[in-house]
Amino acid sequence: MMNYELESNDMDQELKIELGKQGIFVTTIEDLYNWGRRSSVWPMQFGLACCAIEMIATTMARYDLARFGAEVFRPSPRQADLMIVSGTVTKKMAPQVVRLYNQMAEPRYVIAMGACAISGGPFKQGYNVLKGIDRYIPVDVHIPGCPPRPEALIQAFITLQEKIDGQHLTGPDRPRYLDANAQGEFPVPERGEHDLEPTSNQGVWPVQIQGLRD
């Protein structure tokens, strides 16, 4: 059990390289586990607006998201690891997006793709568009752009992989799905008479980003 808590930094990197040269592969459970997870992140197959077209382009031969282990877009949330919120989330659609996220099995990740998904974009002052999906579900990577180019989505995907690589299996900063007390199900907003109720999930909103908010 002690070995499980070894972190990659605890190992002598030079020794590891030296052993590798001799044909001996040494690693930690954590490294192996994160490598496995980050190399087979399967996105969910759904698109909301024009960003979805760029997402589709990303998966095709020219950009080829399959190089990063994300070639299989699953049509069911039960089989998907990554939700790419690609496009405008209308208030009418938002409850379904949250419900789909709830139906995904842990570990699960969210990329908010494009200006609309991260903030409402050009429709921010409108009456019918949600001002960012991060009001209801935790978002791992935000991509600005209208729509972002496939390179931007690949960059976001690599960022997500780096984030997965840096996760610890134990300790206070372990990911949500390894924390029995962490929130697993996110409340689905109701469609009210004038707006969604509640207008945000206080557990995830406002997003706490160090250095950006006072």
Partner 1 sequence: MKTVEEIKAAIEAAVPGAGVEFVRNPGPAAEHSLRLAPASAVAVATFLRDDAELAFDFLSNVSGVDWPDKEIAEKVKVTRMVSKTVDGAEQSVEETIDETRKRVEPGCLEAVYHLYSVAKKHGPLVIRMKTTNRSDQVELPSLTPVWRSADFQEREVFDLYGIIFSGHPDLRRLLMWEGFKDHPMRKDYVEPDDYEYEPTPHDHVLARAQEHKSRD
Which residues contact partner 1 (rule: CB under 8 A)?
A: 91-92, 119, 124-125, 127-128, 131, 191-195, 199-200
- Which residue, 43 or 120, has its beta carbon nearer to partner 1? 120
Of 7 and 197, nearer to partner 1 (C-beta) is 197
Burial 131-141 (b: 16+ CB within 10 A, else e): bbbbbbbbbbb
CB of 113 to partner 1, least distance (A): 19
In angstroms, give the least distance from the CB of 149 to partner 1.
23
Q: Strand pairing of 82-86 and 109-113?
A: parallel
Residue 145 CB, nearest distance to partner 1 (Å)? Answer: 16
CB of 123 to partner 1, least distance (A): 12
Order of strands, sheet of 82-86, starting from the edge strand that comes earlier in the sequence: 82-86, 109-113, 141-143
Burial of residue 68 (number of CB atoms within 10 Å: 0-12, 13-18, 19+)? middle
Tell me the one-letter amino acid at 16: K
Nearer to partner 1, 179 or 195 (CB): 195
Q: Give the residue with the Cβ less far from partner 1, 70 or 115.
A: 115
Q: Using the Cα atoms of residue 129, residue 135, residue 136 and residue 140 in order, give the sign of their dihedral.
A: positive
Token code pair at residue 142: 């935000």
Give me the least distance between CB of 126 and partner 1, in Å please. 8
Other Cβ atoms within 10 Å of 170 Cβ, number: 12
By beta-carbon proximity to partner 1, the closer residue of 128 and 183 is 128
